[in-house]
């Protein structure tokens, strides 16, 4: 056993270039998972159910992705160690001995990774806790938290992943003979055939995914079909990278004027012969880059749009709506009485007819669910407005007053086909009463005679006031406890809303989503970097002999460098370009989903998207410069 332990340690040390990326992957994944689990089970967040729920979902996603990511990284290591393992066979070592050696290697790697990952996780948990509490606008409590449950769960999850990796490695050794293992690194060198059916399948699925993204207008339908579009685009991406790339390279090969040039000849030939094994890797990089862009831009947009949504939805701290009351003034007087000894302001009441409708330019329709032009439309009689706000305004027959939450640049308004002249736009936000759940929100003040020509819904009596969260909660609770049936009220609806609690809920919910989005984006990005690094290093060693032969037959160093740059540029930037194209087609669908989750300002999402694309291009270019130099140094040897 001591011999095998020494041999295992020697193998890890000898293959440090291969194991560097594997150790980075395992330690990073373990640290990330432990941080999210540790924070989710922290006593600081025990009263924040929404946040702990999102952290739980996030840890589940991280564990699933870690399983796939680490198995991929492990397969890269074992593939590049096949020649070494075959030599052990040829030198007389039996398979059971190699299994013992591989078991000890895996055990050593697991112990180092788990101890390092959990230690880093513990150290970073406090910083991460401060960040997440800042995101949800809560006071920061400095206390180093260590969850035993999070520790045990991390050990179990990643022990299973290491065990499955070991079984995979041993299976390869058991099922292969030494000659097959010796040739393991050269598998996939035959020129692949053009797969027309798979190429057409990729074009159809990608086109269908793009069509869904561009055609859906209903936010609720968008949320339902979002994952359908994602699956179609993923299938199309893998199919086109696997089959479409080969078809494209063969097309370029058939173009004699283009193909028979030293740089193009070498690059396209090399790409074509290796595309079978590289296509999936390129598709993985493309999908991961798309995930980074979609996840980060969406979550940043949601968080940056919180205040805009709060301004629209939570204007008053206390919101009371009465429907079907014979004597709503009693509730208003009772509210005033309860607030008498409290600190408050802006107490008011207003009867209003609330509608969901559409507003397209200066044409408004009641009960019209056109999601492109969705609007909250309130109708108020001029008599009620003058009475409850102590005004003395007047209107002619075809005149109205208008309040608009956004910009309204017209001097007239058509309501259900009836045209009115806007006498003036009032600035009193209180006439919009409760929540405005759409970007367009208008209140139309007109004579009662004009109101009577519409099929009016039951009138709502709205009471609003601003006070602290505790005062709002106390007042609304006491109002709810009153038995209004003893006062002669029947078939009434009484609803209350605490705007401050809603604000806290929104910040907690979308702050948690942003936190998880950042963590997942970092994980996706690191995974893409690891895949790129592994590909560049392994292909550098594979191409070393080929470029040496080309130089021996007359290719200059300059031509070799141009060939390398052309080849590396394709491998690097094609996945990024395709990922950006995916995001551009997904842009309308994501915007609809965001509108379904939280009213999202399109300008905020546009800025978030452009910022994320710019940031990813910068990071991607830095990775390109570093790895292309490493690749060239290996090939040059």
Q: Looking at the structure, tell me whether residues 633 and 538 fall in a common domain.
A: yes
Q: Looking at the structure, tell me whether residues 295 and 181 fall in a common domain.
A: no
Residue 217 contacts residue 247 (beta carbons within 8 Å): no
How many structural domains are present in the chain?
3
What is the mean predicted confidence (pLDDT) over 332-360? 90
Residue 32 contacts residue 62 (beta carbons within 8 Å): yes
Tokens 């180093």 belong to 144
What is the mean predicted confidence (pLDDT) over 324-336? 89
Q: How far apart are CA 463 and CA 335, in angstroms?
A: 9
Q: Looking at the structure, tell me whether residues 232 and 170 fall in a common domain.
A: no
Asked whether the predicted pLDDT for residue 190 surpasses 60, the reply is: no
Asked whether the predicted pLDDT for residue 185 surpasses 90, the reply is: no
Q: How many CB atoms lie within 10 A of CB 18?
A: 21
Q: Looking at the structure, tell me whether residues 226 and 268 fall in a common domain.
A: yes
What is the mean predicted confidence (pLDDT) over 430-438? 74
Q: How far apart are CA 206 and CA 261, in angstroms?
A: 33
Using alpha carbons, select from 517, 605, 594 the residue that is nearest to residue 220: 594
Give tens-digit pLDDT for 456-514.
Answer: 888 899 999 999 989 999 999 998 888 888 788 788 888 888 888 888 888 888 888 88
> Residue 227 contacts by C-beta under 8 Å, 6 or more apart in sequence?
none
Q: Looking at the structure, tell me whether residues 510 and 479 fall in a common domain.
A: no
Q: Looking at the structure, tell me whether residues 50 and 72 fall in a common domain.
A: yes
Q: How far apart are CA 207 and CA 424, in angstroms?
A: 49
* Range of weakest confidence among 3-12, 135-144, 233-242, 522-531: 135-144
Q: How many CB atoms lie within 10 A of CB 26?
A: 27
| Burial class of residue 565, CB neighbours in 10 A (0-12, 13-18, 19+) | middle
Task: Please list, residue by residue across 289-300, b when 16 or more beta carbons sit within 10 angstroms of its beta carbon and e when fewer do.
Answer: bbbbbbbbbbbb
Q: How many helices (H) and strands (E) does the chain have?
A: 20, 10
Examine the fold and report which residue of 448, 479, 499 is the final residue of a domain before the chain moves on. Answer: 499
The pTM score is 0.73
Q: Looking at the structure, tell me whether residues 335 and 449 fall in a common domain.
A: yes
Q: Looking at the structure, tell me whether residues 586 and 620 fall in a common domain.
A: yes
Q: Looking at the structure, tell me whether residues 55 and 67 fall in a common domain.
A: yes
Examine the fold and report which residue of 471, 499, 527 is the final residue of a domain before the chain moves on. Answer: 499
Using alpha carbons, select from 190, 170, 165, 192 the residue that is nearest to residue 181: 170
Q: How far apart are CA 516 and CA 172, in angstroms?
A: 36
Q: Looking at the structure, tell me whether residues 472 and 323 fall in a common domain.
A: yes
Of 292 and 305, the one with more pLDDT: 292
Examine the fold and report which residue of 137, 169, 187 is the final residue of a domain before the chain moves on. Answer: 187
Return the structure tokens found at 481.
Answer: 């406890």
Tokens 């941080």 belong to 35
Q: Looking at the structure, tell me whether residues 266 and 342 fall in a common domain.
A: no
What is the mean predicted confidence (pLDDT) over 289-313? 81
Q: Looking at the structure, tell me whether residues 395 and 519 fall in a common domain.
A: no
Asked whether the predicted pLDDT for residue 365 surpasses 80, the reply is: yes
| 327: containing domain | 313-499
Asked whether the predicted pLDDT for residue 187 surpasses 60, the reply is: no
Q: How large a percentage of the chain has pLDDT more than 70? A: 82
Sign, CA torsion 556/558/560/563: negative
Sign, CA torsion 364/367/368/370: positive
- Give one DSSP letter per residue of 166-182, joined into a string: HHHHHHHHHH--HHHHH
pLDDT of residue 415: 93
């Amino acid at each position: 056993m001591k011999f095998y332990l020494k041999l295992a340690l020697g193998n890890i040390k000898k293959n440090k270039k291969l194991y560097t990326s594997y150790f980075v992957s395992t330690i990073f994944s373990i640290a990330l998972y432990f941080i999210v689990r540790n924070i989710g089970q922290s006593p600081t967040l025990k009263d924040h159910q929404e946040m702990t729920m999102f952290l739980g979902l996030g840890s589940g996603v991280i564990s699933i992705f870690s399983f796939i990511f680490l198995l991929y990284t492990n397969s890269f290591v074992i593939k590049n160690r096949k020649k070494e393992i075959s030599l052990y066979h040829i030198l007389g070592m039996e398979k059971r001995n190699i299994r013992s050696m591989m078991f000890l290697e895996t055990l050593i790697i697991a112990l180092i990774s788990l101890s390092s990952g959990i230690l880093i996780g513990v150290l970073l948990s406090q910083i991460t806790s401060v960040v997440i509490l800042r995101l949800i606008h809560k006071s920061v409590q400095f206390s180093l938290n260590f969850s035993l449950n999070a520790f045990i769960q991390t050990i179990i999850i990643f022990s299973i992943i290491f065990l499955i990796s070991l079984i995979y490695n041993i299976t390869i050794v058991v099922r292969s003979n030494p000659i097959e293992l010796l040739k393991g690194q050269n598998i996939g060198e035959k020129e692949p055939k053009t797969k027309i059916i798979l190429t057409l399948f990729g074009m159809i699925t990608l086109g269908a995914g793009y069509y869904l993204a561009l055609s859906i207008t209903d936010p609720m339908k968008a949320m339902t079909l979002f994952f359908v579009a994602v699956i179609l685009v993923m299938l199309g991406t893998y199919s086109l990278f696997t089959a479409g790339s080969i078809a494209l390279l063969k097309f370029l090969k058939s173009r004699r004027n283009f193909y028979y040039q030293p740089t193009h000849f070498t690059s396209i030939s090399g790409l074509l012969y290796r595309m079978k094994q590289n296509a999936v890797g390129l598709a993985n990089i493309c999908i991961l880059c798309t995930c980074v862009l979609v996840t980060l831009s969406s979550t940043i947009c949601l968080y940056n749009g919180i205040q805009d949504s709060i301004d629209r939805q939570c204007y008053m701290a206390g919101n009371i709506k009465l429907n079907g009351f014979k004597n709503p003034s009693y509730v208003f007087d009772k509210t005033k009485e309860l607030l008498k000894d409290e600190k408050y302001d802006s107490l008011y009441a207003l009867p209003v007819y609330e509608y969901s409708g559409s507003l397209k330019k200066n044409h408004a329709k009641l009960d019209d669910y056109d999601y492109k032009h969705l609007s909250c439309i309130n109708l108020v009689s001029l008599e009620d407005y003058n009475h409850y706000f102590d005004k003395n305004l007047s209107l002619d027959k075809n005149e109205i007053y208008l309040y608009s939450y956004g910009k309204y640049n017209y001097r007239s308004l058509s309501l259900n086909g009836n045209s009115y002249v806007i006498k003036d736009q009032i600035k009193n936000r209180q006439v919009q009463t409760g929540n405005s759940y759409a970007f367009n929100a208008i209140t139309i003040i007109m004579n009662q005679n004009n109101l009577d020509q519409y099929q009016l819904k039951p009138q709502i009596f709205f009471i609003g006031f601003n006070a602290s969260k505790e005062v709002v909660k106390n007042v609304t609770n006491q109002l709810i406890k009153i038995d209004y049936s003893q006062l002669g009220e029947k078939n009434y609806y009484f609803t209350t809303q605490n705007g401050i609690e809603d604000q806290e809920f929104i910040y907690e919910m979308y702050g948690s989503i942003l936190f998880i989005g950042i963590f997942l984006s970092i994980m996706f990005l690191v995974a893409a970097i690891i895949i790129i690094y592994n590909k560049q290093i392994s292909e550098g060693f594979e191409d070393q002999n080929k470029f040496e032969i080309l130089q021996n037959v007359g290719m200059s160093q300059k031509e070799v460098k141009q060939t390398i740059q052309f080849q590396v540029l394709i491998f690097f930037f094609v996945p990024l370009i395709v990922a950006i194209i995916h995001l551009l087609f997904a842009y309308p669908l994501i915007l609809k989903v965001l509108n379904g989750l939280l009213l999202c300002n399109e300008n905020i999402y546009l800025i978030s998207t452009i910022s994320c694309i710019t940031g990813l291009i910068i990071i991607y270019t830095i990775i390109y410069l570093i790895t292309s130099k490493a690749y060239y140094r290996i090939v040059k040897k």
